[in-house]
């Protein structure tokens, strides 16, 4: 359920304060292009930190999302959805090399040492990871674990909208699928860090050796920045949001109280990124050095954030391109809008891709 492969479906990105859907189709030349795209904001009553508080409300919003898209029209009832980053657990664990049929039980046994709740209360899945040929002493696998109540409540809300969930993915998986070139070739010799700056949280993902290696969810969010600006300057949320977008990290505009809030947020982010880079170096000694950072989510539109992060971290930093694996088909929106659909596009790509889409 968390990793397997299935048929065409729409990608449904469910967040605490927004839902987004994307469906892809094949054109007459067999190339993938957009079928439909849609987004709705959610009121604060639907979710609380990834847990559904109003299932019927969520179902109604999903129905509206699918029946009134901004672009095109949805024509499948199959869904690939994502689970909330803060409620999912994804980690590389090591087991001794062993015959294929014994791996599942060994992973279950090992997983129990890594997760804070009984494995019986979770749905879990695993994938083998490419490992440098030199090491035959261990078998690293990527473990994904989600509490059963989260999966069951998400599935119920989707089913009640008369849709059929084919798969639920941990969000880091579709994000990486969207932003990194699909390739069966040998792994690169550098690791990539992806930073998804959303409205409710920032997620940091390290991808190396053709696999996600670790993820961390940071309590830095676009909404919190806007709320802090509104509170400090006694502005409405709309005014504060506008001020945030206009100022960004532009030294000509971002000074005084707003500049302080924005710079403070980015400095916090830089510190957390530094800690994660050190964590990766120390805990994944066979991993490659992090060679670049890709940004996504609406917060990646923050003016000059790429330059600021790049000079502070001394690494190349750029905004990701969620349409990368869909070229040469023209993107339906400008990158600064499409970047918010990175997760939804990655979810839709899961069941749309096949190897003929790429020159490997």
Ligand X SMILES: Nc1ncnc2c1ncn2[C@@H]1O[C@H](COP(=O)(O)OP(=O)(O)OP(=O)(O)O)[C@@H](O)[C@H]1O
- Binding site residues, ligand X, CB under 6 A: 15-18, 198-201, 222-223, 226, 241, 244-245, 248, 297-299, 301-302, 340
Quote the least distance from Cβ 201 to ligand X, whole Å: 5
Strand order in the sheet with 202-208: 122-128, 139-147, 89-95, 211-218, 202-208, 191-197, 290-296, 317-319
Tell me the C-alpha distance between 66 and 204, whole Å. 29
Say which residues have a Cβ less than 8 Å from residue 354's Cβ, sequence separation at least 6: none
Q: Which residues 15-34 are close enough to bind Mg ion by CB under 5 A?
A: 15
Q: Is 320 in the site for Mg ion (CB under 5 A)?
A: no
Q: Which does 16 bind (CB under 5 to 8 A by kind): ligand X, Mg ion, none?
A: ligand X
CA-nearest of 155, 33, 184, 142 to 83 is: 155
In residues, how long is the chain?
360
Contact region with Mg ion (CB under 5 A), list: 11-19, 57-65, 140-148, 218-226: 11-19
Q: Which does 352 bind (CB under 5 to 8 A by kind): Mg ion, ligand X, none?
A: none
Q: Is 331 in the site for Mg ion (CB under 5 A)?
A: no
Q: Which does 306 bind (CB under 5 to 8 A by kind): Mg ion, ligand X, none?
A: none
Tokens at 229, concatenated: 């600006």
Q: Which of 50, 84, 165, 198 binds Mg ion (CB under 5 A)?
A: 198
* Residue 267 Cα to chain centre, angstroms: 22
Q: Which does 177 bind (CB under 5 to 8 A by kind): Mg ion, ligand X, none?
A: none
Q: Is 84 in the site for Mg ion (CB under 5 A)?
A: no
CA-nearest of 82, 19, 16, 56 to 224 is: 16
Quote the least distance from Cβ 161 to ligand X, whole Å: 19
- Beta carbon nearer to ligand X, 17 or 25: 17
Number of residues that bind Mg ion (CB under 5 A): 2
Burial class of residue 98 in the structure, from the number of CB atoms within 10 Å of its CB (0-12 exposed, 13-18 middle, 19+ buried): exposed
| Vertex 220 angle, CA 268 and 191, to 5° | 75
Contact region with Mg ion (CB under 5 A), list: 153-161, 177-185, 194-202, 259-267: 194-202
- Beta carbon nearer to ligand X, 20 or 350: 20
- SS3 of the chain: helix, strand, coil, percent, to 5: 40, 25, 35
* Residues making contact with Mg ion (CB under 5 A): 15, 198
């Amino acid at each position: 359920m968390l990793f397997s492969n299935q048929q065409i479906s729409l990608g449904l990105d469910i967040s605490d304060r927004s839902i987004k859907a994307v469906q892809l189709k094949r054109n007459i030349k067999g190339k993938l292009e957009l079928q439909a795209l849609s987004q709705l904001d959610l009121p604060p009553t639907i979710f609380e930190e990834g847990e559904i508080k109003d299932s019927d409300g969520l179902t109604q919003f999903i129905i509206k999302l699918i029946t009134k898209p901004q672009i095109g029209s949805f024509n499948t009832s199959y869904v690939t959805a994502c689970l909330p980053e803060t409620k999912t657990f994804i980690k590389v664990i090591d087991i001794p090399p062993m015959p294929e049929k014994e791996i599942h039980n060994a992973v279950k046994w090992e997983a129990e040492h890594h997760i804070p709740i009984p494995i019986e209360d979770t749905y879990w899945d695993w994938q083998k990871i490419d490992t440098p040929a030199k090491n035959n002493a261990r078998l690293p696998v990527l473990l994904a674990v989600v509490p059963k109540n989260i999966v069951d409540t998400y599935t119920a809300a989707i089913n009640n909208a008369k849709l059929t969930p084919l798969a639920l993915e941990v969000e880091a998986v579709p994000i990486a699928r969207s932003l990194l070139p699909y390739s069966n070739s040998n792994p690169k010799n550098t690791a990539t860090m992806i930073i998804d700056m959303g409205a409710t949280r920032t997620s940091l993902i390290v991808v190396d050796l053709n696999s996600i290696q670790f993820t961390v969810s940071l309590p830095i969010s676009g909404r919190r920045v806007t709320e802090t600006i509104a509170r400090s300057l006694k502005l409405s949320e709309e005014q504060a949001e506008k001020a945030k977008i206009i100022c960004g990290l532009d030294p000509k505009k971002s000074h005084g109280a707003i500049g302080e809030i924005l710079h403070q947020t980015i400095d916090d982010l830089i510190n957390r990124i530094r800690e994660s880079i050190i964590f990766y170096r120390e805990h994944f000694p066979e991993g490659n050095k992090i060679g670049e950072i890709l940004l996504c989510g609406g917060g990646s539109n923050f003016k000059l954030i790429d330059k600021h992060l790049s000079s502070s971290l001394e690494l190349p930093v750029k905004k990701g391109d969620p349409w990368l694996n869909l070229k040469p088909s023209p993107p339906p929106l400008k990158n600064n809008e499409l970047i918010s659909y990175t997760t939804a596009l990655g979810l839709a790509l899961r069941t749309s891709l096949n190897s003929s889409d790429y020159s490997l």
